Amino acid sequence: MGKAAKAHRKKVAKRNANIKQTEKKMQKLWQEAFEEQMNAMKEKFGSMSGLTTPEETLNEEQINKLDEFNVRISEIEEKVNNLDNEKSLNELKLTLESFSEDLKNEETIQEESEPTEPVSGE
């Protein structure tokens, strides 16, 4: 191989190394800009996730009602676990129907109390 070929390969290798270095540098800048933008969006829209805690959205009466429903659900689970005859099955069915009616009534009450017009946040 001649001197010219070696010199040419050296130039090509140097050019390719410069291109790779430039590409990596651009990729790094792009990634940093992307992460910065994502952090800004998280800060701006993080509070708008829709996930709320019960303390923020429920009043005392609603929390008490929720506790009552949780107790009733526990009772139903216990009855399901202790099913052993036809009488228990009928008792469970009546309990479930009663609980279902209570839930339907609660949903109707909530629908009536909610405003019909959406309220703008800002």
Q: What is the DSSP string of 61-78?
A: HHHHHHHHHHHHHHHHHH
What is the Cα gyration radius of the chain?
Answer: 33
95, 78 in Cβ contact below 8 A? Answer: no
Alpha helices (H) in the chain, listed in sequence order: 3-45, 54-57, 60-81, 86-113
State in Å, rounded, how far the first CA of the chain is from the last one.
74
Query: Taking the chain (122 residues) in consecutive chunks of 10 residues, what is each chunk's mean pLDDT?
Result: 92 96 92 87 70 61 79 78 71 77 69 54 50
Question: What value, to the nearest 5°, has the Cα angle with vertex 60 and ends 59 and 65?
Answer: 100
Task: Go through the chain and tell me how many residues it has.
Answer: 122
pTM score over 0.85: no
pLDDT of the residue at 44? 76
Q: Quickly count: other Cβ atoms within 10 Å of residue 72's Cβ.
A: 16
